[in-house]
């Protein structure tokens, strides 16, 4: 195990170096920061004497926000902004970066397995599990870097505009780290069960579409049929959905249930562990050649 951990650290350093010398991480990082800034600026422009009301929310001219307003109604949107713009800005700004890290992990893992590069690595002290751990470690470090930058960015925005980050933001900020680790583990699992980079990417995308669609469908106010059927399917798939545990964790905070919040956080950790364990045994059985 000690040898495997050492190999994982060594491989993850190479992966981080590759990530830092290419522009894509910085492009998505900038896109994430600008996404969060756009939400903060729109919120500041929409503030009236009575606060953020349903009428004022109509001034938030953004296609994504308008989609949320149409799909879920003004009450849901008001809840997103009940402590200011930072909770929604956090979710909005994390999406491009964490999706990039997740998709790139699935594709790169599948590609290196397909071309035989991973097979060459495991001739040394490393094995398939070492590579899985290295991939996850690289994404965790990259996520921590981005979250650190994001926190400083939001703290400065709050200070300059006389706003507060709010307790919901801090709970969400802590939970989102474990949420994205589960997403990364699904990316690794997708690569382990696939035969190449394209199939690895496709499988991980399918996972994410299912999880997000089911959660959205369960709360859709326009299409009642979709809400009904997605709720039934969600009751079956919720146990493997990071999105479900994210939602239940934040719902627990809304109702002041701190214990429920940490239970759902624990479920995210357990889900990640199960996916990594499954990936280990799949690679051990199938080998590292795609």
List b or e across 138-171, with b for residues whose CB sees 16 or more CB atoms inside 10 angstroms. Answer: bbbebbeebbeebeebbeebbeeeebebbebbeb
Whether the pLDDT of residue 59 is over 90: the answer is no
How far is residue 228's CA from residue 220's CA, in Å, rounded to a whole number? Answer: 9
Q: What is the predicted pLDDT for the residue at 155?
A: 94
pLDDT band at residue 133, thresholds of 50, 70 and 90? confident
Domain of 35, in residue numbers: 2-286
Encode pLDDT of 136-158 as tens digits: 899 999 999 999 999 999 999 99
Q: What is the pLDDT of residues 237-264, one digit of tens each?
A: 778 889 889 989 988 998 889 999 999 9
Predicted local distance difference test score (pLDDT) of residue 231: 62
Contacts of 52 (CB under 8 A, 6+ apart): 43, 46, 78, 81, 82
Percent of the chain beyond pLDDT 70? 73
Domain count within the chain: 1
pLDDT for residue 172 is more than 90: yes
Instruction: Report residue 220: phi and psi, to 5°.
Output: -65, 135
The widest CA-to-CA distance across the chain, in whole angstroms, is: 68
Predicted TM-score of the model (pTM) = 0.84
Of the segments 47-51, 120-124, 237-241, which one has the largest average pLDDT value?
237-241
Give the side-chain half-sphere CA count within 13 A for 59.
13
Determine contact, residues 156/34, Cβ cutoff 8 Å.
no
Interatomic CA distance for residues 200 and 106, integer angstroms: 6
pLDDT of residue 272: 94
């Amino acid at each position: 195990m000690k040898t495997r951990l050492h190999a994982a650290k060594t491989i993850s350093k190479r992966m981080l170096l590759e990530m830092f010398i290419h522009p894509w991480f910085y492009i998505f990082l900038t896109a994430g920061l600008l996404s969060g800034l756009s939400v903060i600026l729109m919120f500041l422009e929409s503030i009236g004497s009575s606060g953020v009301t349903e009428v004022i929310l109509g001034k938030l001219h953004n296609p994504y926000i308008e989609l949320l307003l149409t799909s879920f109604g003004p009450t849901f949107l008001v809840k997103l902004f009940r402590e200011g713009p930072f909770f929604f800005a956090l979710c909005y700004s994390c999406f491009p970066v964490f999706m990039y890290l997740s998709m790139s992990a699935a594709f790169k893992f599948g590609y290196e397995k397909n071309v035989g590069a991973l097979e060459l690595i495991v001739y040394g002290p490393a094995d398939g599990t070492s590579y899985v751990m290295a991939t996850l470690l690289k994404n965790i470090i990259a996520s921590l870097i981005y979250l650190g930058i994001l926190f400083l960015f939001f703290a400065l925005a709050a200070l300059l505009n006389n706003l507060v980050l709010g307790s919901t933001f801090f709970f969400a900020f802590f939970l989102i780290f474990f949420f994205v680790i589960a997403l990364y583990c699904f990316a690794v699992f997708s690569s382990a069960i696939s035969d190449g980079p394209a199939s690895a990417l496709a499988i991980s995308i399918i996972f994410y579409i299912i999880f997000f669609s089911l959660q959205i469908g369960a709360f859709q106010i326009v299409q009642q049929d979709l809400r009904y059927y997605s709720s039934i399917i969600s009751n079956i798939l919720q146990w493997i959905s990071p999105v479900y545990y994210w939602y239940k964790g934040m719902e627990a905070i809304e109702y002041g249930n701190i214990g429920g919040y940490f239970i759902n956080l624990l479920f995210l950790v357990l889900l990640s562990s199960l996916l990594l364990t499954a990936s280990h045994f799949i690679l051990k059985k199938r080998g590292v050649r795609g």
